């Protein structure tokens, strides 16, 4: 591994491992590999929600909830074994030789850029998030990957739970990053897009409290519903929310602005064109001064 450059490479949308974002791998329950534009390379996902539990019901969600989930309890030994095996497989070049990775440059499939808690639901809904982080950190240390990031991709509803706070503190000690969803600026639009019974205030409070302790990344999916993009007044409200985090003493490291990559179960939810996304990202930059990365 030492001879491989651990630097970002341009990830192509057309690579099979980018197009196919399946959260399944062989007969594994929890761990899966993806090549991710936002991770800028190979990300090993840890799906803590094979039960498909989520406290959001986003209009763009790709999780198939028409079929039942599995494994209500997270079996930590199995997470550990699957993660060990997949890391070894990637580092040895085995992953890169699989058909799904045949058009991915071999060095991309051999460099684990992050291990990300992300799956068929909301990772912070598990009761022992802190122990799950500990398992991942142990395996990374054991494999000589102590510098590899641990990422939590979250809807933020559970960031105020005690076990999650402990888990975040552990992540802070292991190059942790919180990638937190924010798709709206008002309660109404939040209910329209994320369809959650969790109050928007709680999400905003959790974002602020989390961003006060460490810089966070905001992930925002912008789309059209019934042919209409986010209204200008909503975009202004969204930008105000970002500014309120800074004014409240929090730090947003950057914003990931993206749109739908694949068709959604709701046919009235459709993607923005690259120009539309770019215009919107420009507005966010000018209203907030934040770095905004576009993922059209």
Cα 292 from chain centroid? Answer: 16
Residue 58 is a binding residue for ligand SF4 (CB under 6 A):
yes
String of contacts with ligand SF4 for each residue 3-42, x by CB under 6 A: ----------------------------------------
The least CB distance from residue 122 to ligand SF4, in Å, is: 5
Q: Which residues, numbered 229-258, are part of the site for ligand SF4 (CB under 6 A)?
A: none
Residue 51 is a binding residue for ligand SF4 (CB under 6 A):
no
Which is closer to ligand SF4, CB of 114 or CB of 174?
A: 114
Handedness of CA 171, 175, 181, 182 (dihedral sign): positive
- What is the token pair recorded at 79? 């997470």
Of 25, 28, 56, 200, the one binding ligand SF4 by CB under 6 A: 56
The least CB distance from residue 183 to ligand SF4, in Å, is: 9
Residue 269 is a binding residue for ligand SF4 (CB under 6 A):
no
Residue 122 is a binding residue for ligand SF4 (CB under 6 A):
yes
Whether 45 contacts 32, CB under 8 Å: yes
Residue 177 is a binding residue for ligand SF4 (CB under 6 A):
no
Handedness of CA 231, 158, 18, 42 (dihedral sign): positive
- What is the token pair recorded at 153? 């991709």
Residue 61 is a binding residue for ligand SF4 (CB under 6 A):
yes
Whether 121 contacts 55, CB under 8 Å: no
Going by C-alpha positions, the residue among 67, 11, 5, 57 that lies closest to residue 34 is: 11
Distances (CA, A) of 191 to 182, 203, 204, 291: 12, 12, 14, 27
Q: Which residues contact ligand SF4 by CB under 6 A?
A: 54, 56-58, 61, 63, 121-122, 155
């Amino acid at each position: 591994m030492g001879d491989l450059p651990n630097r970002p490479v341009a990830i192509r949308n057309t690579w099979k491992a980018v197009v196919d974002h399946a959260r399944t791998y062989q007969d594994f329950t929890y761990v899966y590999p993806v090549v991710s534009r936002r991770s800028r390379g190979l990300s090993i996902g840890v799906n803590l929600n094979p039960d498909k539990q989520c406290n959001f019901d986003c209009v763009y969600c790709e999780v198939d909830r028409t079929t039942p989930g599995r494994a209500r309890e997270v079996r930590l030994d199995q997470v550990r074994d699957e993660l060990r095996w997949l890391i070894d497989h990637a580092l040895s070049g085995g992953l890169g030789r699989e058909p799904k990775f045949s058009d991915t440059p071999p060095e991309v499939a051999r460099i684990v850029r992050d291990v990300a808690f992300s799956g068929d639901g909301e990772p912070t809904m598990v009761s022992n998030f802190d122990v799950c982080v500990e398992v991942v950190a142990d395996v990374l240390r054991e494999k000589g990957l102590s510098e590899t990031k641990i990422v939590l991709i979250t809807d933020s509803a559970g960031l105020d739970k005690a076990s999650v706070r402990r888990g975040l503190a552990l992540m802070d000690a292991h190059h942790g990053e919180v990638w937190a969803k924010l798709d709206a600026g008002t309660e109404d639009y939040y209910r329209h897009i994320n369809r959650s019974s969790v109050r928007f205030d709680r999400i905003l409070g959790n974002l602020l409290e989390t961003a006060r302790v460490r810089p966070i990344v905001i992930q925002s999916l912008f789309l059209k519903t019934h042919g209409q993009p986010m209204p200008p007044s909503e975009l202004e409200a969204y930008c105000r929310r970002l500014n309120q985090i800074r004014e409240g003493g929090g730090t947003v490291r950057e914003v990931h602005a993206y749109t739908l990559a694949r068709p959604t179960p709701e046919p009235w939810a459709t993607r923005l064109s690259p120009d539309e996304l770019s215009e919107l990202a420009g507005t966010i930059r000018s209203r907030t001064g934040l770095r905004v990365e576009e993922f059209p």
